[in-house]
Structure 1
Amino acid sequence: MSKTLVLAFHPDIARSRANAGLLSAIHGIDGVEIVDVQRIYPGGDIDTDVEVNRLLAADRLVLQYPMQWYATPAILQAWLDAVLTHMFYISYESEGRRLQGLPVMISVTAGNTPEAYRKNGRNMFTMLELLAPLRAMAHRCGLAWSSPFIVYRANGLSPGELKLEGSRYAQQLNNWIVASEPQSV
C-alpha cells in the first residue's frame, strides 16, 4: 500500500476548528499518516534526519496549514528551511534526487471569503497567487504540484459547513491518491 504523508503546520491545533476538523475528516483513510509538526517541534527546532526519513518514506505529500498574513506559519517555513535545504542543497544525490516527481498538494485555510481573494478584492491577490512561493518550491525540488485544497471563511464556518468541507477534503484527497498511484503495466 502506498503512503500519503499529511504534515499539519498549525500553531495550536487544539484551538483550531477548521484545520482540526479537516484532519479529523481524513483520519482513518487507508495509507494516510497525519503528523502534527508543531506538536513535535514546539520550539521550531526541526530534527532534520527524522523529517528527511519521514519524507523519503512517503509516496505523496500534503502540506496543511492556515494562511497567516498571506504566508505560511513559522513552523512550516522552519520545516522547509531545515528539510528541503538539507535534501536539495546538502545531500541532493542521496536524498533530494529521490523525491523527483513526488506528488505534493497544499491544503490551506483562510479566514476571509473567496471574493476577498481576487484581483480587485480586499486582499488584492488570488489564493493561487499567494501560493506561488510553495509552487516555486515544488518546481525547484522537482515535486509534482497538484491542485490545492482551499477552505475560505475558516473561522466563520458553521458546524454543518465545516463537516461539508471535511467531506470535500476527504473526497479530494482520496481522488488525488487514486490519480497519483503508479500505473500497473
Structure 2
Amino acid sequence: MEKPVTTNRTLVIVAHPNLTESRANANRLAEIKDLDNVTVHDLYATYPDGKIDVEREHQLLREHDTIVLQFPVYWYNVTSMLKTWFDAVLIHGFAFTFDGSPSALSGKKAWLAVTVGSTLETYATDGAARRPLDEYLAPVTQTLAFCQLDYQGFHAVYGMIFETSDETLALDAKEYRRLLANSETPVG
C-alpha cells in the first residue's frame, strides 16, 4: 500500500510597501502565482489602513505548515507593516508561551525571502555594513525561534539599488519557485 502524498502548505507573507515598483519582489510573486501549495498574503494590500485582523492572521498561520516572510530589508530591518504585524499577531498564548508548553506555531517551519539594496560585498566584515546580513536579520530570526517556529534560513537577492540585471532577477525568481514548489528551505 502506498503512503498518501502530503503537501506542505506554505504561507508567503509579503510585506513590501510599494510592490508595484519592486522588480525583485514582483518577479518572485509572478513566478509562484500558480503553485497550488502556496498562499500569497500581501499585508499592505490587505491592510491599507494598517489595522491587522488578528483572528484572520491566526487562522492563516494555523492552516499552513511553512511560513515565509518576504520583505525588502530597510535600514537593516523589516518594513513598518511587518513590524506592526509582529506586534499584533505574535502574541502570548498564541505564538509563544512562558511555561514551555507548545504554541500554535510550534514545529512549523519558517524562513525569510529578502531583497537587499546593497551588494553582497557590502555585507562582509570589511564592507560598508561591517557584518553579514544574517547578523542584521537576527532580531527576526530570534522572534521566530521564540515563537517556537523552526527557522530554516533565508533566501536573498542583493544589489537592488544598483540596477540588478533582469537575468539575475529572473534566476532569483526561478530559485524561489523551486524552493517553494519542492517545500525546500534556503541555504542562506
Q: TM-score range by the shorter chain?
A: 0.7 to 0.9
What RMSD over aligned residues (CA atoms) do the two structures have, in Å? Answer: 2.1
Check if 1:158 corresponds to 2:165. yes
Q: 1:93, CA displacement in angstroms?
A: 10
The residue type equivalent to 1:54 in the other structure is L
Per-residue CA deviation, residues 130-158 of structure 1 (Å, 9 max, x unaligned), is 11011111111110011210110124122
- TM-score, length basis structure 1: 0.88
Q: Deviations over 1:80-131 (max 9, x none)?
A: 10000252369x999x722101100100000111000011111112111011
SS state of the match for residue 95, structure 2? helix
Letter in 1 for 2:55: D
Q: Which residue matches 1:182? A: none
Counting aligned pairs with the same residue, the percent is: 34
Residue 151 of structure 2: aligned partner: 145
Cα pair 2:38 2:180 within 8 Å, conserved: no
Tell whether 2:53 aligns with 1:47: yes
Partner Cα separation in structure 1 for residue 125 and residue 28 of structure 2: 28
Q: In structure 2, what is the equivalent of residue 116 of structure 1?
A: 122
Matching residue of 1:56: 62
Q: Distance in 2 between matches of 1:47 and 1:7?
A: 14
Aligned to 1:36: 42
Is it true that 1:106 corresponds to 2:112 in the alignment?
A: yes
In the alignment, what sits opposite 1:27? 33
Q: 2:174 aligns with which of 167, 172, 177?
A: 167
- Could you tell me how far 1:78 is from its partner in structure 2? 0.5
Distance 1:62 1:34 in 2: 9
**Aligned residue type for 1:120:** D
Q: Does 1:4 align with 2:24?
A: no
- Aligned counterparts of 2:103 and 2:148: Cα–Cα separation in 1: 8
Aligned length, in residue pairs: 176
What does residue 90 of structure 2 align with?
Answer: 84
- Match of 2:68, SS state, is strand
| Range with bigger deviation, 156-165 or 3-12 | 156-165
Q: Which deviates more from structure 2 when the two are superposed, residues 125-134 or residues 22-31? A: 22-31
SS in 2 for 1:99: coil
Aligned counterparts of 2:154 and 2:43: Cα–Cα separation in 1: 20
